[in-house]
Amino acid sequence: MPKLRAVNAVACGLIVVGNSLNLAVAGPIGYLGPAGSWTHQACLDLFGGRDLVPLARDQLFRSYADRKVERACVPVTTSVVGVTPYLDAVLDLPEVTIVAEYPKMLGYSLLAKPGTKREDIASVHAHPVAFEEVKPWLEQEMPQVRRVEAASGGAAAQAVARSSALDAASFGPRVGADIYQLVSLVDGIEEGPHNVTRWWVLGRQMPAPTGHDKTSLLVNASDASLSGILATFSEAGVQVLTIYERPSKKSLDTHRYLVEVAGHAKQGALEVFLEAHRELRVLGSYPRR
């Protein structure tokens, strides 16, 4: 595995938004690279620009599992498409501790090389989820352009920067313009409460209770057992907030469920409930945002 190289975004002249979470950590922080993605922007918001390591998808999860990074930042759900392609990879980890969640309202920028005119754009690059999130604007404003899928917003911006012609653009955060010497032709595309992505920050130690927490649980259940399992939550006075179904990869009538509940795993009714139901896997307890 290549040696991890942290990127100091401050030295690149990037704007860092203040961190409102107590997530200080000594050591590298991995995120889905290359730089210029929404996950990169989320890490800038949370951690500032130091010790950030851009990694490919598989390398990110291996680095977390092998403790080569102290934190890993992963987008897991969105208000437009539901679960992301990365949620299953988190659930597949043999050990995981979610230490924070970070929901962010997104507003995309249309990035292109200097000198590119909007009317000359023939192709746009973006992550598949990004295409879904900008779909209303794209179909109204640029219905004829060719859509090219990329691994991330950073990869999309990188592809545009490397193109030889002035007829390509990408969708992603505006930070990509600073990194790849691009310009933003349009900002705030599909910005609003309808376009929110939530990241998990994976760490090592469960945060202490704050009084306003959320706990993420992994529940393995068959079609026949699900209603009974859910009834036990209600009977114990545990408030279920969200449920996401994921395939068990074993049979059609068995599933993995991400069940998120109010409260902290080490406090109150939820602690008692989890002591009685050790078959439920605690993925993490963290401040609810």
Cis peptide before 34 (omega within 30 of 0): yes
At residue 29's C-alpha, the angle toward residues 28 and 31, to 5°, is 135
Phi, psi of 217 (to 5 degrees): -125, 145
207, 200 Cβ separation under 8 angstroms? no
The two tokens of residue 21 are: 């979470």
- CA dist 216 and 230 (Å) reads 14
Residue 133 neighbours by CB under 8 Å, 6+ apart = 78, 80, 81, 106, 108, 190, 195
pTM for this prediction: 0.88
The strands making up 123-126's β-sheet, listed across from edge to edge, are 146-149, 123-126, 168-172, 108-112, 183-189
CATH of domain 213-287: 3.30.70.260
At residue 191's C-alpha, the angle toward residues 190 and 197, to 5°, is 100
DSSP state of 7: B
- pLDDT of amino acid 41: 96
265, 274 Cβ separation under 8 angstroms? yes
CATH of domain 109-187: 3.40.190.10
List per-residue pLDDT tens for the chain, 289 residues long. Answer: 334 444 433 333 333 333 445 566 668 999 998 999 999 999 999 999 889 999 999 999 999 999 999 999 999 999 999 999 999 999 999 999 999 999 999 999 999 999 999 999 999 999 999 999 999 999 999 999 999 999 999 999 999 999 999 999 999 999 999 999 999 999 999 999 999 999 999 999 999 999 999 999 999 999 999 999 999 999 999 999 999 999 999 999 999 999 999 999 999 999 999 999 999 999 999 999 9
- pLDDT of amino acid 20: 46
29-105+196-203 shares its CATH topology with 109-187: yes
What are the structural domain ranges in the chain? Answer: 29-105+196-203, 109-187, 213-287
Multiple choice CATH, 29-105+196-203, 3.40.50.150, 3.40.718.10, 3.40.190.10, 3.40.50.300: 3.40.190.10
Phi, psi of 242 (to 5 degrees): -145, 155
The span from the first CA to the last CA of the chain, in angstroms, equals: 35
Q: What's the distance, CA 221 to chain centroid?
A: 26
The two tokens of residue 204 are: 């090592």
Contacts of 90-94 spanning 24+ positions with Cβ under 8 A: 90/61, 90/200, 90/202, 90/283, 91/218, 91/246, 91/256, 91/258, 91/283, 92/61, 93/61, 93/64, 93/65, 94/65
